[in-house]
Amino acid sequence: MWGSTIGGIVTLILSLLTAPLTSQAQPAAHVPRLGLLIPSSFSVVASQIEAFRHGLRDLGYVEGQNITLESRFGDGQVDRLPALVAELVRLPVDVLVVNGTTAIRAAQHATTTIPIIMMPSGDPVGEGFVASLARPGGNMTGLSSQAPELSGKRLELLQAAVPTLARVAVLWHRDAPRGLYLTETQAAAQALGLHLHTLEVGSPKAWEQAFAAMLRAHADALVVLPSGQIEGHMRVVAALAMAHRLPTMFGARGGIEAGRLMSYGPHYADLYRRAATYVDKILKGAKPADLPVEQPMKFELVLNLKTAKALGLTMPSSLLFQADEVIQ
């Protein structure tokens, strides 16, 4: 009797001692790690990144609990992007979420196995990122901001804001896709009876020269073609435009508070929010090759009345009525 009692006590003690060891030996649940690569600075895309985080939260992902976000910013320096994406790949990350053509290109060269979500790309097919929008193929999918058909609308809106408009400078970055945008802008300018003066920049040092060329061409306003590279230095561009008293039209609202007159283009916060759905699908087992690339569904017109006043312009009521946001 005593022997059996002692044996039972010993068994109980051993079970209590080994229970914690068994639980400690069990591997912790894997927390997915997202790598976020942005060519500009955080301040340029702060609202869009918050929209992306909001999209993740709506899908049940909480940072620090069931998902981790590793962010890297190029601060407008394109040559930093390959090293930044290589750092994310080495961590490693489970998914790369990448903004803009140059950053997507760097990610494409860095890995063929980690899923890459474009957030967004200007021309994913033309740039060779995907085989087609419907069937991307490879390890890349996501969103496209491509909407060249808006180029004509931008000129119409600019003409409404500047009734004396006759000559328009068009600025693009040499590393950004421009073919369709430029073609559409040229066609719209011809239909509206406007003369275009096209200029290419490759570095901030060239911008002073570009604006001097606009002045020599007697430009009445400036259209900046969609470009993440220029967006990264928008305060410089806006300051130069104000110094030369040039009304400006941009393809995205980011930083319009910095002195730009107006912007019309895809609603980028919506694109960033929708990127979270790709993260969710991929983490649940979907392959990037099977997820179609989505195009913009929402667009926004933003007007800056403070800039208009500084330029001596009065925004017509028709424009104010169309605007999604008016900055006083």
Same domain, yes or no, for 161 and 232?
A: yes
Same domain, yes or no, for 154 and 261?
A: yes
Q: Is 60 left (phi over 0), alpha (psi -120 to 50) or beta?
A: left
Same domain, yes or no, for 100 and 121?
A: yes
* Confidence band, pLDDT 50/70/90 cuts, at residue 228: low
Whether 44 contacts 234, CB under 8 Å: yes
* Confidence band, pLDDT 50/70/90 cuts, at residue 24: low
81: in domain? yes
16: in domain? no
- Per residue in 130-151, pLDDT (tens digit) is 999 999 999 999 999 888 788 8
* Confidence band, pLDDT 50/70/90 cuts, at residue 6: low
Asked whether the predicted pLDDT for residue 266 surpasses 80, the reply is: yes
Question: Domain tally for the chain?
Answer: 2
Residue 72 tokens, joined: 């890297």
Give the Cα separation of 155 and 165 in Å (integer).
10
Inter-CA distances, 60 with 98, 187, 273, 277, Å: 21, 46, 14, 11
Average pLDDT over all residues of the chain: 86
Spatial CA neighbour of 225 closest among 170, 188, 154, 291: 170
What pLDDT, on the 0 to 100 scale, is given for residue 21? 46
Same domain, yes or no, for 319 and 186?
A: yes
Whether 49 contacts 108, CB under 8 Å: no
CATH number of the domain at 121, please.
3.40.50.2300
What pLDDT, on the 0 to 100 scale, is given for residue 114? 98
Give the Cα separation of 157 and 196 in Å (integer).
16
Same domain, yes or no, for 243 and 321?
A: yes
Whether 39 contacts 232, CB under 8 Å: yes
Same domain, yes or no, for 219 and 319?
A: yes
Domain that holds residue 211: 150-266+300-327
Same domain, yes or no, for 196 and 312?
A: yes
122: in domain? yes
Same domain, yes or no, for 274 and 206?
A: no
Spatial CA neighbour of 140 closest among 87, 110, 104: 104
Q: Which pTM value belongs to this model?
A: 0.77
| Residues near 112 by beta carbon (within 8 Å), at least 6 away in sequence | 138, 139
Triad 155, 160, 161: Cα angle to 5°: 100
Residue 282 tokens, joined: 């991929």
Asked whether the predicted pLDDT for residue 222 surpasses 60, the reply is: yes
